[in-house]
Amino acid sequence: MTTAMVEKYKAFHRLLNKTSRTLVDRRFRQQGQCARGGSAASGLDHRPDAVVEQRVSYLGCPKRGLWTSARASLPSLVDGGFARDYPMNRCRSFGSVAGEIQRSSKFATLNSDDVAHFKEILGERNVVQDERLEAANSDWMHKYVGSSRILLLPKSTDEVSRILKYCNSRCLAVVPQGGNTGLVGGSVPVFDEVIINMALMKQVISFDKISGILVCEAGCILEDLISFLDNQGFVMPLDLGAKGSCQIGGNVATNAGGLRLIRYGSLHGNVLGLEVVLANGDVLDMLGTLRKDNTGYDLKHLFIGSEGSLGIITKVSILTPPKLSSVNIAFLACQDYLSCQKLLLEAKRSLGEILSAFEFMDSVAMDVVLNNLDGVRNPLAPTAHNFYVLIETTGTEESYDKEKLEKFLVGSMESGLISDGVLAQDINQASAFWRLREGVPESLQRAGAVYKYDLSLPVEKMYDLVVEMRARLGESVKVVGYGHLGDGNLHLNISAPKYDDAILAQIEPFVYEWTSNHRGSISAEHGVGLMKANKIFYSKSPEAVQLMASIKKLVDPKTILNPYKVLPHSLMSYS
Ligand SMILES: Cc1cc2nc3c(=O)[nH]c(=O)nc-3n(C[C@H](O)[C@H](O)[C@H](O)COP(=O)(O)OP(=O)(O)OC[C@H]3O[C@@H](n4cnc5c(N)ncnc54)[C@H](O)[C@@H]3O)c2cc1C
């Protein structure tokens, strides 16, 4: 027997020894502990600059929450009295459009009458002109910085409607904002747009325990909804690393994908209805709770993924599946990318309906996590592994699920697809494994400047781009590949000590051309925002983009809603 084979069999037995328990800790379930781990109840109720460590949450219980600094994206709500003098034309961005755009002169500039009017609608307290503006003007990565002089916090649909009606009549540009965790510069002003943050609209309106249909306001934090549903014995069909801060309205506006898409599908399938306020203040009631409704065009789909460019989402109705009790997580190592692909195919084949996540990260991503996050460790033996895969199964039959998973793992080990692996034995291990994968964006953020690309590509080609990018950029930067392998979604991240136009010129347009040549999408889930507004043609035909622009002009003729974003500037009259 060769040394390699001995090592393989050792790893195999180590794995087998660990397959004897399922994850969901019974103690935990019996106690039904689903109290919030974090402190914040809204996107604005955060401690400034703090990285708030939360209790780990797992499937519905909020203990697997990311320890993300996204939690701390905006300071707490306190009354403030002074207006900071932001330079109105400030627009700092390190994305694709850096330096390319000018403020449109067609938009009015905020004056004291406007402020007085907003105070009349919202009251003094919810018209913010103090230091909290700084956080609202800057995105999670501190990559896009606007210069808005006002942040509005409506508490009802009627208030949103009155604000928009007024802004439209005055031609004041507006940026809708949720948890401000977006990664493409969509959630912050480019120049001096009025910021409308939905954090105070955070009520659960109804939950039907028979159908699993949840109706809530757009400002509900995703993690709060996960906790709420857990208490009801249901799960949110959506989960992502920024859950502690992002809002359901923001999720719908970006058509967020995340960690459960492989199992539950996209929000286009799960969102049953929306209430939206249009630019002129009209309230569009599409808040249906029906699974079937074929009365003409299904307009809600226009707003799912519209990134605040067509209207402000104020209420959401969403179909949620029942919580299942048997959950297992395996953290595995593969020697090469081909093995990861084969493992995915095998997992789909062997695990079938119980497969609920298939995530991957390369060894560079793992190093960045281990070097930048506190309290994490690689659960596998410290041999050099090139790729790591996290597999989660969720089902109803503990013994059946376990048997299925064990058979799959043993088969994969024997056929050499897996070089090492562990199965979480309790909730803490499960959280620790998820923490490694979910911690990648946060650790990259801590490591310095990050150039982020979120691409849909054929799975077999996906990692070639990482390899080519590494060869192109050399040793001075770290090129990291990770993502939702099960959905063909690569997060290509380039980590550098600081933002540098020379690096950007090496990356773009190469990354977009490569993706387009492989018939991929330049935005799998993060959206277009400001970053890719002028790059949309890499993924959409001119005819499709033209139709999008026509729809935009129809519903928002003055283009006050999130200007400069989503659509190419050549098609919009911003000058
Ligand atoms: C650590 C981390 C992990 C992430 N992981 C994922 C992931 O796995 N999958 C994924 O898809 N994304 C991910 N993201 C990106 C981001 O969290 C999602 O895009 C999320 O859906 C944004 O929600 P938000 O409330 O923060 O919206 P914001 O960031 O505030 O806004 C995003 C866009 O939506 C618009 N918008 C917000 N609220 C509304 C509203 N009520 N009505 C109309 N328009 C609105 C804004 O104008 C903006 O264009 C991650 C981000 C971070 C920081």
What is the best residue among 183, 201, 303 to mutate for testing ligand 1's pocket, by most ligand atoms within 8 Å of CB?
183
Residues ≥6 apart with Cβ < 8 Å to 538: 509, 512, 513, 515, 516, 522
Residue 315: CB atoms within 10 A of its CB come to 23
Cα–Cα dist 443/448, whole Å: 9
Is 398 contained in some domain? Answer: yes
pLDDT of residue 268: 97
Is 179 contained in some domain? Answer: no
Residues ≥6 apart with Cβ < 8 Å to 59: 24, 230, 235, 323, 327, 394
| Shared domain check, 436 and 329 | yes
pLDDT of residue 383: 76
Q: In what order do the strands lie in the sheet with 312-319?
A: 204-208, 213-217, 312-319, 271-277, 283-286
Question: Given the CA of residue 252, which atom of ligand 1 is nearest to it?
Answer: 21
150 alpha carbon – ligand 1 mean position (Å): 21
pLDDT of residue 486: 87
178 alpha carbon – ligand 1 mean position (Å): 7
The whole-angstrom distance between residue 248's C-alpha and the CA centroid of its chain comes to: 11
Cα–Cα dist 422/426, whole Å: 12
The torsion region of residue 307 among left (phi > 0), alpha (psi -120 to 50) and beta comes to: left
Both structure tokens of 58: 């797992």
Any ligand 1 atom below 6 A from CB of 183: yes
The torsion region of residue 342 among left (phi > 0), alpha (psi -120 to 50) and beta comes to: alpha
Q: Where are the alpha helices (DSSP H) in 398-500?
A: 398-414, 427-438, 440-447, 459-473
Greatest alpha-carbon span in the chain: 83
Any ligand 1 atom below 6 A from CB of 278: no
pLDDT of residue 384: 81
pLDDT tens, per residue, the chain with 575 residues:
344 444 544 444 444 444 333 333 322 233 332 222 222 223 323 222 222 222 222 222 233 333 333 343 343 332 333 334 445 555 556 655 555 789 999 999 999 999 999 999 999 999 999 999 999 999 999 899 999 999 999 999 999 999 999 999 999 999 999 999 999 999 999 999 999 999 999 999 999 999 999 999 999 999 999 999 999 999 999 999 999 999 999 999 999 999 999 999 999 999 999 999 999 999 999 999 999 999 999 999 999 999 999 999 999 999 999 999 899 999 999 999 999 999 999 999 999 999 999 999 999 999 999 999 999 999 998 778 999 999 999 999 989 998 999 999 999 999 999 999 999 999 899 999 999 999 999 999 999 999 999 999 999 999 999 999 999 999 999 999 999 998 999 999 999 999 899 999 999 999 999 999 999 999 999 999 999 999 999 999 999 999 999 999 999 999 999 999 999 999 997 76
Q: Which of 440, 462, 489 is the last residue of a domain?
A: 440
Is 358 contained in some domain? Answer: yes
Any ligand 1 atom below 6 A from CB of 253: yes
Q: Which residue type sits at 476?
A: S
Is 457 contained in some domain? Answer: yes
| Shared domain check, 393 and 333 | yes
Q: Which residues pair with 455 in a beta bridge?
A: 490
| Shared domain check, 337 and 432 | yes
* C-beta of residue 268 within 8 angstroms of C-beta of residue 255: yes
* C-beta of residue 93 within 8 angstroms of C-beta of residue 532: no
Going from the C-alpha of 500 to that of each of 34, 98, 504, 507, 540, the distances in angstroms are 44, 11, 6, 11, 29
Is 132 contained in some domain? Answer: no
Is 348 contained in some domain? Answer: yes
Domain range spanning residue 370? 3-28+324-440
| Shared domain check, 412 and 335 | yes
| Shared domain check, 549 and 531 | no
Going from the C-alpha of 188 to that of each of 182, 183, 251, 265, 565, the distances in angstroms are 9, 10, 15, 28, 10
| Shared domain check, 429 and 387 | yes
| Shared domain check, 340 and 431 | yes
For atom 18 of ligand 1, the residue with the nearest CA is: 182
Write out the H or E segment, with its range, that includes residue 493. Answer: strand 489-496
pLDDT of residue 574: 74
Any ligand 1 atom below 6 A from CB of 267: no
For atom 15 of ligand 1, the residue with the nearest CA is: 182
Cα–Cα dist 569/99, whole Å: 13
Any ligand 1 atom below 6 A from CB of 73: no
For atom 37 of ligand 1, the residue with the nearest CA is: 250
| Shared domain check, 527 and 548 | no
| Shared domain check, 433 and 362 | yes
Q: Which of 416, 440, 464 is the last residue of a domain?
A: 440
Is 48 contained in some domain? Answer: no
| Shared domain check, 387 and 430 | yes
Cα–Cα dist 337/386, whole Å: 8
Residue 119: CB atoms within 10 A of its CB come to 14
Beta strands per DSSP E along 131-201: 144-145, 151-152, 174-177, 194-197
Q: Domain of 349: which CATH number?
A: 3.30.70.2190
Cα–Cα dist 325/262, whole Å: 19
What is the best residue among 66, 151, 163, 177 to mutate for testing ligand 1's pocket, by most ligand atoms within 8 Å of CB?
177
Q: Domain of 519: which CATH number?
A: 3.30.70.2740
Cα–Cα dist 385/336, whole Å: 9
The torsion region of residue 42 among left (phi > 0), alpha (psi -120 to 50) and beta comes to: beta
Any ligand 1 atom below 6 A from CB of 238: no
Is 349 contained in some domain? Answer: yes
380 alpha carbon – ligand 1 mean position (Å): 33
333 alpha carbon – ligand 1 mean position (Å): 31
| Shared domain check, 518 and 460 | yes
Looking at the 3D structure of the chain, how many domains does it have? 3
* C-beta of residue 406 within 8 angstroms of C-beta of residue 391: no
Both structure tokens of 242: 């920024």
Q: Which of 405, 440, 475 is the last residue of a domain?
A: 440
Any ligand 1 atom below 6 A from CB of 242: yes
Backbone angles phi, psi at 124, to 5 degrees: -55, -45
Q: How many CA atoms lie within 13 A of 94 on its CB side?
A: 19
| Shared domain check, 480 and 526 | yes
